[in-house]
Structure 1
Amino acid sequence: MTRLTPLVSILILLFLYSGCSRDPLQEPIVKSIPKTPENQSSKNAPLQNLPIESSNELIVQFKQGVSTVQKQAIRQRYEVKTYQTCNCSNQQIEKWEFKEGIDIEGRKGQITQDDVGIESVDNEFSYLMEAVTTGWIPYSQSPDLIRSRTKANNAGITIAILDTGIHLQKLPVSTPFLYNPGRNTTTLHTDIRVRRNQSPFVQSSQRPRTPCSYNGQTEISGWDFVNHDFDTFDDHGHGTKVANVIITNMENEQINNYQILPVKVMNDQGKGSYFDLICGYIYASKKESVSIINMSFGWYNTPFVLLPKLMSENTHITHITSAGNSNKNTDFYPHYPSAYPFDNVIAVGSFNEGKDGKVSFSNYGRNSVDFLSLGTAVPIEDNLGDISYAYGTSFAAPFVAVKAAKHKIDFNETPLEITNRIYTNGTPVSFPTFTKYNVIVE
């Protein structure tokens, strides 16, 4: 990971990276690996998952202290047609819709230059997950089912999964493992400042424990920002597989004092909007005992502004991100959020099944990817005991999330210390991983 501050300088450098030529370093030697169902692209193939920006929408963040009356005056000033706030979270963030045909970049520039109570402004866009759709039939999980999987009391740490949700009845476990929004027993929370060479300090949490409510719906465990309700049912399949990897490996590590917070930010086609992602991220980062956020998704080339700003501010949270599946050097073809160069971001690629090389589809980068872990033929056991196999860096990331959770529980360390400990405990290899740390995480 590259460690640069302040944020503005970082984003400028990231923008410059996206326009650079191909990596002058030798491309990694890739062993003979069968094509996977998740991605079959080569290093010369064009990038498929570029963000699709909205032509008439922006996301704004008001400055602290701006009143409701002032917000309305600001909306009128910029001729906002409609606006939307986040469910159950930060009311300083809004999505603004303008009339069709507007010069959206011109309006964004105007808002940026004016000093009228706006702290940040960003484009709204959509992105697709780099995974096939499972075709699961839409389903509704009852409140009773969700409660039966919700822990009576939270303990240790919470891992938030920003993804397509969780299909509870597809998991091989029926014991409670979900986050309880109203109950907490012990909290591990270490805060470290963005700038280096400052001592970490333990901070008591002041985050609210009150479950969120929106439009007559009340949170049980997690929230669906796509459909705006308490039911985080996974109608795609990706998020359930990610949760499965975490739960299985937590059991393998004999870790019990944890819970999972499901945050649905992508729909049944694996499509997400930036606004839903921002809202989901704020929701998760405010939850007491959330120390790890797994983000197994991404897009290429454009870093945008709000998400990296929020991630850099939440210095106590370790963000586990998938490096992407396009066999690209993301030092030069940046993939976000994995390429955000913060101490609290861990980017994970995939080694092959033989553990003697990078798998053919995995992205890599000596500055932008930290570790390789298992992202090929990852066993996924369902509630009937049947086993299928998943492929992609999406499923390598949760392996590392479990390692991060173990170190957080055992040592209550900062994200940077957790990264260093994962490196120290990784498996040294003789082949070049073409990552920052030449180890694999098993």
Structure 2
Amino acid sequence: MRNIQKLIAFVLVLLTCSCSTDDLITESNIKTENDKIVNTSPENITSKSNFFPTYSDTQLIVQYKNGTTDPEKNNIRMANGVTNYEVCHCTNKDIELWSFGGVINIEPKRRSIKDQVDDESDTGVLAVDYEFVFGLDIESPFTGTDLDTGYTSYIKEENSGITIAIVDSGIATGLTVFNTDTMANKILFNADGVAVGDEKSGWDFVDEDANTFDDNEGKHGSIIANMITNELTTNAIPHQILPVKVSNSLGQASYFNFLCGTLYASERADIVSISMGWYDDGFGESLESIFSNIVDANPTTIYVTSAGNLSSNNDMLRHFPSSYEQENVIAVASANEDTSKISNFSNYGVLSVDFFAQGEGISFYDVFVQGTSFAAPQVTIEAAAIFYEDGILSPEELKDELSIRGSVVLESFTDLGDDISRDTYFNKLIIPFD
């Protein structure tokens, strides 16, 4: 039955993809955020669909069991014909990107490595994933200034309150929204004592340096950072933003950089904001993944994720990472500007979506943006406020409190009939500080 549902959903998505995205634009100065995948990828990437992963046929990602020694890792690489490898810029060095010196038959290779997993052994390979590319919106108009003015003056002298990592396109601190009367607002995480290399705050996994400048033309990560820090500052909630850059100027993110960025954030943050994603195409084993292992290894870290923008049911066609089933993953769908209805572009799901929040009419300079990417930060804001008021709660306790504070959506909220829950524990509407 599950496969039949996925097939039906796949057909529906293809029909959706054949339509113009212009119907998501409600005003001439509104830009729409879509979970698109860039198809202008290198020759070693096989393109599948705008909304699905774009796979590498030269690389795989491997995770070792904790405690696997360097000599053991070296022997495993040699046995599998690895010609080059990269490790994450993290305290944990158990995730590696393997290259094989050229194009290979990727699925048999992945299967042969997976067959080496020994449940009886305390060391060795734990998991193996495909390497792929996915992305943010790549058609966003230019927003704000493109000047990289540096970031060190925005770092807090000492961390206090709630640490929120934003795994995205970085943050352009030179934008006026991050400054008051030409003075830098000190909002960034101070990495003193936890730095892996020369970072002072966060890390750029795209360019492999300490400057997390947001060079995405739509300033995707900067908008999210501004939403969160502006609301928390206004309401006197102490916090710091940990910028983790995993997508490039075109909005492309590799899965390896995404994994490394998520791991890096998980080692430091109370809440991890993830407003990007990809769809289950049936090719990989998405639920049994290295990302899932990272979430499992950090059960008290909260991952607030966007649910995607295909107007589809995530119960049938999974959107990741929002469709991971762990309690500490919160999936957020979008409501319209006055929060009276579900956004026409928003994904939904009784089982796979936890909450709704405003994702339309979000102002940033002289434009308005919309998308589940901008609904998710609303829940991040409310979660941070709860943590500040009540202390760090378990994921179950946090969801309980969010549900108490949330509003039950009305019958008129959606025309989707029984496809969506209106009065159950989840799928409630969150309005920060309401």
Q: State the partner residue of 2:205.
A: 225
Judge conservation of contact 1:18–1:332 (CA < 8 Å) in 2: yes
In 2: Cα distance, 1:117 partner to 1:32 partner:
48
Contact 2:24-2:345 within 8 A present in 1 as well: no
Alignment partner, residue 351 of structure 1 = 335
Equivalent in the alignment of 1:426: 406
Aligned residue in 1 for 2:127: 120
Tell me which of 218, 228, 246 is aligned to 2:228.
246
Aligned counterparts of 1:403 and 1:335: Cα–Cα separation in 2 = 23
Cα distance between partner residues in 2 of 1:140 and 1:352: 33
Counterpart pick for 1:410 among 382, 389, 400: 389
Name 2:246's counterpart in structure 1: 265
**Percent of matched pairs sharing the same residue:** 35
Residue correspondence of structure 1 range 17-416 to structure 2 within 5 A: 19=6, 21-22=8-9, 34=26, 37-38=31-32, 48-114=50-116, 115=118, 117-130=124-137, 132-135=139-142, 139-142=147-150, 146-173=151-178, 174-182=184-192, 209-213=193-197, 218-236=198-216, 237-255=219-237, 257-287=238-268, 290-301=269-280, 303=286, 305-380=289-364, 386-412=365-391, 413-416=393-396
Distance in 2 between residues matched to 1:419 and 1:227, nearest whole Å: 36
Q: Given the superposition, is the C-alpha separation of residues 84 and 18 from structure 1 closer, same or farther in structure 2, using an over 3 Å criterion?
A: farther
Distance 1:97 1:22 in 2: 34
Q: Hey, what's the Cα distance between the residues in 2 that align with 1:94 and 1:420?
A: 37
3-state SS of 1:399 partner? helix
In the other structure, the counterpart of 2:40 is: none
Distance in 1, matches of 2:128 and 2:235, equals 43
Counterpart for residue 200 of structure 1: none
CA distance in 1, matches of 2:245, 2:312: 28
* Counterpart code for 2:204: D
Alpha-carbon offset, residue 39 of structure 1: 5.4
d(CA) in 2 for partners of 1:424 and 1:50? Answer: 35
Distance 1:316 1:171, change over 3 A: farther
Distance 1:77 1:276, change over 3 A: same
Consecutive unaligned residues of structure 2, counting only runs of 5 or more, are 11-22, 36-47, 179-183, 415-419
Matched residue type, 1:111: I
Query: Do 1:33 and 1:352's aligned partners in 2 also have CA atoms closer than 8 Å?
Result: no
Separation of aligned partners in 2, 1:172 and 1:122: 39
Q: Please give the TM-score of this superposition, normalised by the length of structure 1.
A: 0.80
SS at match of 1:365: coil
* Alignment-mate amino acid for residue 37 of structure 1: K
In the alignment, is the contact (CA less than 8 A) between 2:138 and 2:250 conserved in 1? no
- Residue 355 of structure 1 and its aligned partner are, at CA, apart by 2.4
**How far apart are 1:22 and its partner, in Å?**
4.9
Mapped partners of 1:356, 1:296: distance in 2: 23
Contact 2:333 2:346 in 1 (8 A): yes
Superimposed CA distance per residue, residues 173-201 of structure 1 (whole angstroms, 9 cap, x where no aligned partner): 3320100112xxxxxxxxxxxxxxxxxxx
Q: 1:258 to 1:354 in 2, by over 3 A?
A: closer
Q: Deviations over 1:96-143 (max 9, x none)?
A: 01133422111111111124811111111110114534457865443x
Aligned residues: 377
- Give the superposition deviation at 1:47: 7.1
Per the TM alignment, residue 18 of structure 1 is displaced from its structure 2 partner at its CA by 6.7
Higher relative contact order (CA 8 A, sep 6+): 1
> What 5-or-longer segments of structure 1 have no aligned partner?
1-12, 24-30, 183-208, 381-385
User: 2:397, 2:383 → 1: CA distance?
Assistant: 10
- The 3-state SS of whatever aligns with 1:172 is helix
In 1: Cα distance, 2:147 partner to 2:59 partner: 31
